[in-house]
Structure 1
Amino acid sequence: YIAAAFPSACGKTNLAMLVPTIPGWTAETIGDDICWMKFGDDGRLYAINPEAGFFGVAPGTSHATNHNAMETLHANCIYTNTALTDDGDVWWEGMTDTPPASATDWLGEPWTPDSDGPAAHPNARFTAPASQCPSIADEWEDPAGVPISAILFGGRRRTTVPLVTEAFDWEHGVFLGSTMASEKTAAASDQKGTMRFDPMAMLPFCGYNYADYFAHWLTIGKATDPNQLPKIFFVNWFRRDADGRFLWPGFGENSRVLKWIFERVDGESDAVDTAIGRLPTPAAIDTEGLDIDEADLQTLLDVDAEGWRASIPEIREHFARFGDKLPAQLQVALDTLEARLGAD
């Protein structure tokens, strides 16, 4: 079982309802949004999904990008700010290859493909019962929860951040989570495309001092045998080249990254220690049957030392917001990162 924290519109629902492209692999869904974790008697972290359903971003959701989500939406759903087709159905951008000839847009105005604005609001939503999801796991409502083997942090980054990075240890993983930055999306409601720090993807939800939240994560790491803690990884499905082309196909192909993560959890795959964390070699990612350029894969797994060095002042400014309350371990981790990058 894995848990993942991404900012809104960065692929949480797609990951939770993943249809693996690796032959013989299946994935089941516990939830796509909130997970509450506590220690079990065996010292491992167990997670439950406290929600009854899904509240997903509709635009971009289709049978090609998230088949299980589309199959969930057949009944008992609430649609917010989508378009309404002439025959009484809903529609949003990316749902089908061909848009309807006419519809009523999210503002209640007549719409055609020639209209200036989108038919659905970029943050249009669907609300659906989890019980209708084809991939829902039998244990999704088990009050005991499920044991978490890996925690994934991630965001939407065009440059710098590799496809997947393993933290050196729990403390380093907390540092990675505390420095998460992502391009703003429609779900953030302002300045789409610009960068903002969103530690642990909790910026809209953290109801107390973030520095205390970081300290809580660090305390969790000391509460059990380190070998019982989930491994922490940082993923980025959204790297692009200079022309804006995505380097990684994403969606179901992300199962190939999860395979490496599971192998790392089981001690069955090698990794290379770098300044920013542990990275897979290109050969460690299962690309059988995947049409990807070797140079693109190498770029996805390289350390952009120059880009990381350029981010150090931004991270220092981010940390400065928390003043004396910032846990000293995180400042040390930043200094260590800067020193490692200087050595490269």
Structure 2
Amino acid sequence: MVLVSNNSSSVMENNQSVVQSVVYDINSALKAQDAAERESASAPVAKPPCVYGSLDTLSNKIRAFVNESVNLVKPAKIHVCDGSEREIRDLLNVMQQAGMIEFLPKYRNCYLAKTDPADVARVESKTFIISPNRRDTIPNTLPGIKGTLGNWMSMEDLKEAVHDRFPGCMAGRTMYVIPFSMGPVGSPLSKIGIELTDSPYVVASMRVMTRMGSNVLKALGDGDFVKCLHSVGCPLPTTRKLINNWPCNPEKVIVTHVPETNEILSFGSGYGG
């Protein structure tokens, strides 16, 4: 038999009261933290200013694509491209001031870009097609044999690659919204896309390679388009030593095509077109 004195009983009651108080405080703190997290998640994300053009000229589908990408890559500014002569002059001046290009006076409208030698245009080994099944993209081969007709990546691996590269990758930079048409604007054989990039060099290149600008938006209307997201992978301020003032991230270059969702994602190269 164990006898408990009144004093012992009082001590036990006090200890129990202290424990209950601590548990209550912890629960209250957890509830407060949970409420704060819910409030933060539901709060509107601050959008970067649009410094050129207007987001109002974009369709709801394009704005949704831009907003989703902004939340991921966190650019400092947005520039909606119109394809005008004024725009290309401004972009060439920006690149000249940054040391990315040099004007060659012997020829009219001729510029020299000295890139990082590590940023090469041919990246077949880092270019992937994403599909539910490997056999939908490349031929099946015998075990231990690597085919030469393309590279396949699963959707799960793509999500991991995106998570490893894109969050905050445009910090300090301008996101350029490029409406472009592969082929004559309005042709039933042409393909329209919207490319989001943080490289003025890509904007200038797309102006040469495609029909680009406001007239593409008019032709597209509320229609669907190829979603293209590109980043040089070099947020500002950068700790990387830039070669020839050419921003890139050659160690993490990847180019992915997702036919099922009509998307292209490119990271790490300064080309991106």
TM bucket (normalised to shorter chain) is under 0.3
- TM-score, normalised on structure 1? 0.19
Higher helix share: 2
- TM-score, normalised on structure 2? 0.22
